[in-house]
Structure 1
Amino acid sequence: MCALAMPDALRRPQGGTAEALGPATGRLGVVMFVDYQRSEVGPYRELLFMPGPCRFPDGHRRWSIGRIYVSSEDSARNGNRNWGLDKRVASFRVERTRYGESVTVRYQDRDIAGLTLKRRGPALPVLGPWLPERWRRLGQVRDNQQFVFAPSVRGRLGVASLSDAWGNGKDFPQLQYGRGRGSLYLPDFHLDFPEADIRPLS
């Protein structure tokens, strides 16, 4: 999980959030690479980008996932239906070293994004959700509906660094023009993804 300061001229139009939302605010975007060893649809990998908090039609400001790629058809189908995501199926190439990993994502026969993550020191246990619910609350808009949910993570948490990050600007934001503002890694985690509150757009 990495926070990036990116130019608004790139972060907003390339962020991928729904047209019904206002432009992403703040100065930071977040990129995440997740390698699920187990899930209700089996193991899969995921790369996502959130361009920042957006104004929703109900007046609230929430983070929203704009770009998200997964290695599983089942994950894409269920994520899009149940949480209003725009998951797209891609292939992942992961090269692991003693201190981290390098990830390249390929979508529709072209490389669209890549990053290298390095661990910095040990990961320490975190008991219970490590962010208040209001900071974890996400929102999506899809098919004229609003989806709101607040995932929580338990496990071990450590400091990391991000290098060699890039995106092609069309399918994923141009991370190469961002500046890292902090990275974390969770080598052993449990993610609770609750049922979304789904309501029609007013």
Structure 2
Amino acid sequence: MSQSTASRPPDVKSAPAPWTLTGDAYIAMLELPERVLREQSFIPEALRSRFEGRYSLLMAIDYTSSDVGPYRELLFIPGRFKTRRGLLWSISKIYVNSWDSVVNGQRNWGIPKEHADLEIVREADGSERLRALQGGEVFADVRFAPAGPSLPAGTALLPARWRGLVHHRDGSDLLCWPTARGSVRLARLLEARVDPARMPPLDERRVVFAARLSGFRAEFPVADVEPPGPG
């Protein structure tokens, strides 16, 4: 099922934070070689000296509703970064199939969203594939499969330091602490093929764990704007 969008941004209406979003997602925590993380994961210069490596996150998300309508998302987080509030995650590559999400995501939280067409294919074996395309060319193809029973879960079980995000824009850090609740079950990351010019290479990945989130409801609050953290 493909949700195609325009090739250039139309006029985009402002949708300020906070946002409420619902949907389904796959999340994989990965270990990647240090050279990949530091040299090929698209860390912005403003955050490069503050990078703390080891664990990365790959997410494929199908938002069924949001403050800018339904859209899909593929993102990569190389790890956590030093801030004045401690170590926080930061998205270095993210593609969405909604210009409203691109523009407002950059404006509200400094998230470096880029536009792509995203399609989800549900395979006969029960796995799900998300493909990202630009100009009709597939540059990322990830496939997950759920496994095991579903259990209720929420970010209330996580300390704030494990769910905070930091992004950098116009000389400032933008920090926020999203929350979410829904059903979670284990999953497997079966394939991850990408163009390394547009996504960090994942060939040498080790999957620490993967999960499927179903019917979640997430809240993205207004960002705190602060001077850059320690370098």
Question: Structure 1 CA distance, aligned partners of 2:80 and 2:108?
Answer: 21
Q: Which runs of 4+ in 1 moved over 6 A?
A: none
Contact 1:71 1:90 in 2 (8 A): yes
| Pairing partner for 1:138 from 138, 157, 165 | 165
Percent identity of paired positions between Structure 1 and Structure 2: 36
More RCO (CA 8 Å, sep 6+)? 2
Counterpart residue number, 2:95: 69
Aligned partner of residue 17 in structure 1, secondary structure: coil
| Pairing partner for 2:212 from 181, 185, 188 | 185
Where do 5+ consecutive residues of structure 2 fail to align?
Answer: 1-26
- TM-score, normalised on structure 2? 0.81
Question: Structure 1 CA distance, aligned partners of 2:193 and 2:118?
Answer: 15
| Pairing partner for 2:76 from 42, 49, 56 | 49
Question: Structure 2 CA distance, aligned partners of 1:136 and 1:85?
Answer: 15
Alignment root-mean-square deviation, CA: 1.8
Question: Structure 2 CA distance, aligned partners of 1:72 and 1:55?
Answer: 30
Structure 1 range deviating more: 89-98 or 177-186: 89-98
Contact 2:174 2:223 in 1 (8 A): yes
Counterpart residue number, 1:18: 44
- TM-score, normalised on structure 1? 0.92
Aligned partner of residue 77 in structure 1, secondary structure: helix
Counterpart residue number, 2:223: 196
In structure 2, the CA distance between the partners of 1:126 and 1:95, relative to structure 1 (3 Å rule), is: same
How far is the alpha carbon of 1:135 from its aligned partner? 1.2
Question: Structure 2 CA distance, aligned partners of 1:139 and 1:163?
Answer: 29
How far is the alpha carbon of 1:130 from its aligned partner? 3.3
How far is the alpha carbon of 1:181 from its aligned partner? 1.0
Amino acid across the alignment from 1:160 = A
Where do 5+ consecutive residues of structure 1 fail to align?
Answer: none
Counterpart residue number, 1:92: 118
Amino acid across the alignment from 1:29 = S
Contact 1:91 1:105 in 2 (8 A): yes
